[in-house]
Structures are given as C-alpha cells and as structure tokens.
C-alpha cells in the first residue's frame, strides 16, 4: 500500500488529471503532473508540474523516480520511453496495457485473441489494398486509423462506392482498421477498478448518447434489463482480469438489436461516461482510481440517487459571432436548478467541440433525469 502523504504521478495534464488530483489530495496524497504544454487544467491544481516532451528521457526519469507510483490520464502517450524506464517507476496500469489501448488494431487483435466479443474487423497496412479490406467486411462499414483516435477523430463511415473511394483517398498512407457496421440498440460503458491484489469492482452501467461522435449524455442506470447490466459488468471485469489491470479501465460496448454485447473500445483511465460518479455515487471514479493505484481498499460504487444524467459542456455552448467568442453560457440558468452540479475544467479558451466542463443532475428515474438534463442544456 502507498500510504497517504506519498506522491502519485500523472502523465497527462487534461481535465481527467485535474479531477484525479482533487480526489488524491482529499485522501492526503501529493500529485505531480507531467505534461508537455505549459497551460493545462491538471497542472493548475497539482503540487508540482513538469513541462517537457514525453520523449525527454532525462526529464521523464527524474519525474517518475520522484513518485511512489505513476498513472495516466489519457492513453495517447508514447510507450517507448516508458519501457526504457520500466525499472525506474511503478506504472499502474502497466505500460503494456497502455500500448494495447492506444492502437485500434492492437486492441481489437487482443480482444479476438482472448475470445472477447467484438465488432468484426479487417486490417490494412500502409500501402495495402484498403478497397479489398472494405469489401471483405462488406458495406456499410467504418474505416478508422489504427493509431490515436478518440471522439470520432480519424474515422469514416463507408456506405456506397462513392464513400469507398473517399476512404481510399483519405486513408492513403495510414494504417487502417475496417469494422463492420453494427446496428445497435444503444451504447453502454462500464468502468472497472482493479487492485494489484486482484480485487475488482465495476461501477453501474452507463447508457451513452453521442452527438457528432462526442459523448453528449450519460444516463445512470442504463435503461436496459438487469440481465444485460450484469453481463456488461461481468464482461468488463473479465477483461480487466485478463489484461492484468491495476487501476481503472473503461470498456465501451454496443448492445445490438439481437441482444449481443460487443466491445467497441477500451481506455485504461477515468472516462467521460463516469463523471456522474462525482455527484451520484458513494465513491467517484477518480477516488477509485487513486485507491486502485495506491493499493487502498476499493470504495463502494453504489449510487446515492435513484438516477443521474451527466451532460458534456462543449465550447459550442459559448456565444459566437462567426469564429469569435462573444459571451459565456448562462450559468445562472443552470445553477438555479438545485439538482444540477456544475464542473468546469479551467480551460481558458473555448472552442467548438472542445470539452469545457460537464454537469450532472439527479432525479427519481432515468427518464426524468434525462428530461431535466435536456432542458437545462437548452437553457445553458
């Protein structure tokens, strides 16, 4: 166990690192942030921040040696320097988990190799025949870059010959993954924590609604049968065990029209769909992450309200004149609702599509919470 008072390091300086730092400091830990940019949400609230490239071995080694354990707040971190410094630090999760999750092809290959249900896919190497890979999967399908994708970036739906030709042109020079199009009933996610002793605990299943590939609403509990929720949580916990997780893992899922549960993506870190836990769960995902990394007993994941909905606040909520920001959202309209809990990330510059914060509401039922959340989002 890493006792409170020790130092935990975080690679990455975004809002997930910021909320991790808040949770860790409440438990008595010092948090150090390693982030290349000099203006990050996490560095603003940490005890110490290092601003250097992830490939700067000297700076990275000094950083990790000053921490009792090191974790991540996003997965797109080069793993080469981490394995070179493997003996200099305790990484939770281990860097091999990061390497699997940051590449769509490695991730899906790992799922297939370990017999976890996943979307059928084909791979296409740089210079390969992407059109043949698309035809092997069939139309419609989705073509994605193999590396560093999130929030819908680096992907294109292919439904006909015209979009096939566009995909061949757009992905030229890139390693790609071609996935079969899934007719799904809804999108779900499960966040599971696991300690080095092998104790795992998964949060309630979230039902997620995306708009333009970015998470818009997370609904708790998911409006699916209890049997589906049990299967989803068991699947996430099985993946965490098989991959040797220590820390936190988010597993994004499709529930198909036929009742299948398919793994879409994994993220070895706190997840956008778990932000509701700050206001409607006994233990937030961020405190649970701290507990897992530090070897503390895991917290209770029971909900403190019958239902909750989390809403992302994007830069689109600001007032714009052309490409110029001319005003803030109507915070008073949101905060007038006593069941609304606002969280802003300290980002100084709003941009359309940029995650600036979120709010969570609670209610007696998921449908009532969603109705209230939609109304408040419109007022905002």
147 pLDDT band, cuts 50/70/90, is: confident
Mean pLDDT of 131-138: 96
Mean pLDDT of 197-208: 98
Tell me the pLDDT tens digit for each residue of 289-340.
999 999 999 999 999 999 999 999 999 999 999 999 999 999 999 999 999 9
Residue 327: φ, ψ to 5°: 180, 160
Q: How many H-runs (helices) and E-runs (strands) does the chain carry? A: 12, 19
The answer on pLDDT for 148 being more than 70 is no
154 pLDDT band, cuts 50/70/90, is: confident
pLDDT the model gives residue 150? 63
Q: What is the spatial distance between Cα 308 and Cα 313, in angstroms, rounded to a whole number?
A: 16
Q: What is the DSSP string of 10-65?
A: EE--SHHHHHHHHHHHHTT-EEEEE-SSSS-TTGGGSSEEE---TT-HHHHHHHHH
Cα dihedral sign for 196, 266, 253, 370? Answer: positive
Mean pLDDT of 6-23: 98
Q: What is the spatial distance between Cα 332 and Cα 200, in angstroms, rounded to a whole number?
A: 40
Task: Give the 3-state secondary structure of residue 188.
Answer: strand
Contact indicator for 295, 196 with CB cutoff of 8 Å: yes
pLDDT the model gives residue 155? 86
Tell me the pLDDT tens digit for each residue of 341-370.
999 999 999 999 999 999 999 999 999 999
Tell me the pLDDT tens digit for each residue of 227-277.
999 999 999 999 999 999 999 999 999 999 999 999 999 999 999 999 999
pLDDT the model gives residue 152? 59
* Residue in the structure block whose two tokens are 């601003």: 51
Mean pLDDT of 1-12: 97
pLDDT the model gives residue 146? 87
Q: What is the pTM of this model?
A: 0.95
Residue 178: φ, ψ to 5°: -110, 120
Residue 331: φ, ψ to 5°: -60, -35
pLDDT the model gives residue 313? 98
Structure tokens at 155: 């992907």
pLDDT the model gives residue 355? 97
User: Which domains are seen in the chain, by residue range?
Assistant: 7-91 (3.40.50.20), 120-180 (3.30.1490.20), 184-379 (3.30.470.20)
- Of the candidates 347, 344, 342, 345, the one whose C-alpha atom is nearest the C-alpha of residue 373 is 342
pLDDT the model gives residue 340? 98
The answer on pLDDT for 153 being more than 80 is no
Beta bridge mates, 72: 11
């Amino acid at each position: 166990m890493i006792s409170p008072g020790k130092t935990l390091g975080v690679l990455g300086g975004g809002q997930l690192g910021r909320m991790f730092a808040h949770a860790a400091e409440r438990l008595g830990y010092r948090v150090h942030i390693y982030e290349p940019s000099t203006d990050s949400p996490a560095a603003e609230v940490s005890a110490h921040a290092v601003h250097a490239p992830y490939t700067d071995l000297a700076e990275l080694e000094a950083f990790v040696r000053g921490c009792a354990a090191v974790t991540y707040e996003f997965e797109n971190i080069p793993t080469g320097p981490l394995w070179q410094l493997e003996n200099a630090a305790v990484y939770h999760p281990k860097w091999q988990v990061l390497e699997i999750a940051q590449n769509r092809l490695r991730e899906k290959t790992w799922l297939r190799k370990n017999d976890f249900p996943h979307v059928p896919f084909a791979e296409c190497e740089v210079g390969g025949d992407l059109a043949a890979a698309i035809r092997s999967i069939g139309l419609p399908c989705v073509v994605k870059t193999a590396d560093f994708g999130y929030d819908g970036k680096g992907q294109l739906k292919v439904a006909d010959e015209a979009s096939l030709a566009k995909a061949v042109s757009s992905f030229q020079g890139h390693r790609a993954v071609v996935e079969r199009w899934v007719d799904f009933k809804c999108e779900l996610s499960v966040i599971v924590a696991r300690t080095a002793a092998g104790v795992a605990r998964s949060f309630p299943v979230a039902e997620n609604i995306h708009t333009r590939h970015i998470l818009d609403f997370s609904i708790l509990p998911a409006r699916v049968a209890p049997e589906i929720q049990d299967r989803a949580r068991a699947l996430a916990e099985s993946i965490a065990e098989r991959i040797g997780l220590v820390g936190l893992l988010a597993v994004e899922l499709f529930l198909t029209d036929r009742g299948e549960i398919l793994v879409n993506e994994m993220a070895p870190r706190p997840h956008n769909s778990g932000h509701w836990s700050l206001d409607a769960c006994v233990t937030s995902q961020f405190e649970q992450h701290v507990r897992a990394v530090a070897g503390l007993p895991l917290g209770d994941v029971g909900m403190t309200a019958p239902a909750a909905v989390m809403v992302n606040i994007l830069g689109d909520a600001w007032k714009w004149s052309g490409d110029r920001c001319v005003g803030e959202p109507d915070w008073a309209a949101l905060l007038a609702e006593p069941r609304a809990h606002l969280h802003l990330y300290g980002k100084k510059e709003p941009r359309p599509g940029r995650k600036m914060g979120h709010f969570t509401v609670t209610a007696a039922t998921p449908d009532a919470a969603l109705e209230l959340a939609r109304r408040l989002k419109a007022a905002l």
